Amino acid sequence: MPVRHMPAPIMAHCLRGIAPARRAPGAMARFKHTCAAGVAVVGRHHVARFSSSAPQNRSGGSSTSAFDAGIKPAAPRPSVEDGYQATIDQARKLSSQSAEMYTASFAFFEALWDAGVTHCFVNLGSDHPSIIEAMVKGQRERKSSFPKIITCPNEMVAMSMADGYARLTGKPQCVIVHVDVGTQGLGAAVHNSSCGRAPVLVFAGLSPFTIEGELRGSRTEYIHWIQDVPDQKQIVSQYCRYAGELKTGTNVKQMVNRALQFSKSDPQGPVYLCGAREVMEADIEPYSINQDEWDPIELGGLPKGAVKKISEALAGAKEPLIVTGYGGRNHDFPASLVELANTVKGLRVVDTGGSDMCFPADHPAWLGLRFGVEEAVKTADVILVLDCDVPWINTLCHPSKGAKIFHIDVDPLKQQMPVFYINAQSRYRADTLQSVEQITAQLKSQHIAQLESEEAKQQEGKRSESYKQLLAKIEEKTKPTWDGEFGTGHLSRTLRKLCPEDTIWAIEAVTNTVFVHDNIQPTLPGSWINCGGGGLGWSGGGALGIKLATDYESGGKGKFVVQIVGDGTFLFSVPGSVYWIAKRYNIPILTIVLNNKGWNAPRRSLLLVHPDGEGSKASNEEINISFAPSPDYAGIAKAAAGGDLFTARVDNAADLEGVLKEAIETVKGGQSAVLDIKVATGC
pLDDT in tens, 336-393: 999 999 999 999 999 998 889 999 999 999 999 999 999 999 999 999 999 999 999 9
Per the CB < 8 A criterion, the answer to whether 408 and 384 are in contact is yes
Sign of the CA dihedral with 36 first, then 38, 39, and 41 last = positive
Q: Which residues contact 571 (CB under 8 A, 6 or more apart)?
A: 631, 633
Strand locations in 353-454 (E): 366-370, 382-386, 404-409, 426-429
pLDDT digits (tens, 9 = 90+) for 172-203: 999 999 999 999 999 999 999 999 999 999 99
pLDDT higher than threshold 60 for residue 307: yes
Per the CB < 8 A criterion, the answer to whether 388 and 323 are in contact is yes
Predicted pLDDT at 77: 54
Orientation angle between helical segments 575-584 and 538-554, nearest 10 degrees: 20
pLDDT higher than threshold 80 for residue 453: yes
Give the three-state DSSP class for 453.
coil
Per the CB < 8 A criterion, the answer to whether 432 and 327 are in contact is yes
pLDDT higher than threshold 80 for residue 14: no
Q: What is the rounded CA–CA span in Å between residue 507 and residue 566?
A: 9
Give the three-state DSSP class for 314.
helix
Predicted pLDDT at 611: 82
Which stretch of 161-175, 213-227, 537-551, 608-622 has the lowest confidence by average pLDDT? Answer: 608-622
- 458-477 average pLDDT score: 96
pLDDT digits (tens, 9 = 90+) for 645-676: 999 999 999 999 999 999 999 999 999 999 99
DSSP 279-300: HHH-B-------GGGGPPP---
pLDDT digits (tens, 9 = 90+) for 390-410: 999 999 999 999 999 999 999
CB atoms closer than 10 angstroms to residue 476: 10
The DSSP bridge pattern shows strands 561-566 and 590-595 to be parallel
Predicted pLDDT at 622: 72
Predicted pLDDT at 259: 99
Cite the DSSP H helix spans in 207-332. 223-226, 252-264, 277-281, 304-315
Can you list the domains of the chain with their CATH numbers?
A: 19-77 (no CATH), 98-294 (3.40.50.970), 304-465 (3.40.50.1220), 478-678 (3.40.50.970)
Q: What is the rounded CA–CA span in Å between residue 651 and residue 97?
A: 63
Per the CB < 8 A criterion, the answer to whether 646 and 672 are in contact is yes
Q: In the β-sheet with 646-650, what is the strand arrangement from edge to edge?
A: 528-530, 504-508, 561-566, 590-595, 673-678, 646-650
The burial of 604, by beta-carbon neighbours within 10 Å (0-12 exposed, 13-18 middle, 19 or more buried), is given as: exposed
Per the CB < 8 A criterion, the answer to whether 425 and 314 are in contact is no
The burial of 136, by beta-carbon neighbours within 10 Å (0-12 exposed, 13-18 middle, 19 or more buried), is given as: exposed
Give the three-state DSSP class for 50.
coil
Sign of the CA dihedral with 628 first, then 484, 563, and 518 last = positive
Percent of the chain clearing pLDDT 70 (strictly above): 84
Give the three-state DSSP class for 593.
strand
- 600 — pLDDT class (breaks 50, 70, 90): low
pLDDT higher than threshold 90 for residue 278: yes
- 604-622 average pLDDT score: 75
Cα separations in angstroms, 129 against 138, 280, 377, 432, 562: 14, 9, 56, 45, 37
pLDDT digits (tens, 9 = 90+) for 486-537: 999 999 999 999 999 999 999 999 889 999 999 999 999 999 999 989 999 9
> How many residues make up the chain in this entry?
683
Q: What is the rounded CA–CA span in Å between residue 298 and residue 307?
A: 19
CB atoms closer than 10 angstroms to residue 196: 27
pLDDT higher than threshold 80 for residue 679: yes
Q: What is the DSSP letter of 506?
A: E
Predicted pLDDT at 17: 41
**H-helix or E-strand containing 595?**
strand 590-595
- 78-82 average pLDDT score: 53
- 616 — pLDDT class (breaks 50, 70, 90): confident
Per the CB < 8 A criterion, the answer to whether 123 and 152 are in contact is yes
Among 179, 188, 208, 194, CA closest to 282: 208
Average pLDDT in the chain: 88
Cite the DSSP H helix spans in 328-453. 333-343, 375-379, 432-446, 448-451
Give the three-state DSSP class for 8.
helix
Predicted pLDDT at 441: 98
Q: What is the rounded CA–CA span in Å between residue 509 and residue 354?
A: 11
Straight-line distance from the first to the last Cα atom of the chain, in angstroms, rounded to the nearest whole number: 47
pLDDT higher than threshold 70 for residue 57: no
- 681 — pLDDT class (breaks 50, 70, 90): confident
Q: What is the rounded CA–CA span in Å between residue 210 and residue 214?
A: 6
- 79 — pLDDT class (breaks 50, 70, 90): low
Q: What is the DSSP letter of 5?
A: G
- 329 — pLDDT class (breaks 50, 70, 90): very high
Give the three-state DSSP class for 141.
helix
CB atoms closer than 10 angstroms to residue 31: 13
Q: What is the rounded CA–CA span in Å between residue 350 and residue 527?
A: 17
Q: What is the rounded CA–CA span in Å between residue 442 and residue 207?
A: 58
Helix and strand element counts for the chain (H, E): 26, 20
Per the CB < 8 A criterion, the answer to whether 166 and 133 are in contact is no
- 85-104 average pLDDT score: 70
Predicted pLDDT at 96: 53
Dihedral over alpha carbons 114, 120, 125, 131 (to 10 degrees):
20
- 259-269 average pLDDT score: 98
Give the three-state DSSP class for 651.
coil
In this prediction the pTM is 0.86
Distance, CA of 638 to chain centre: 22
Cα separations in angstroms, 676 against 481, 497, 625, 634, 682: 19, 19, 19, 6, 18
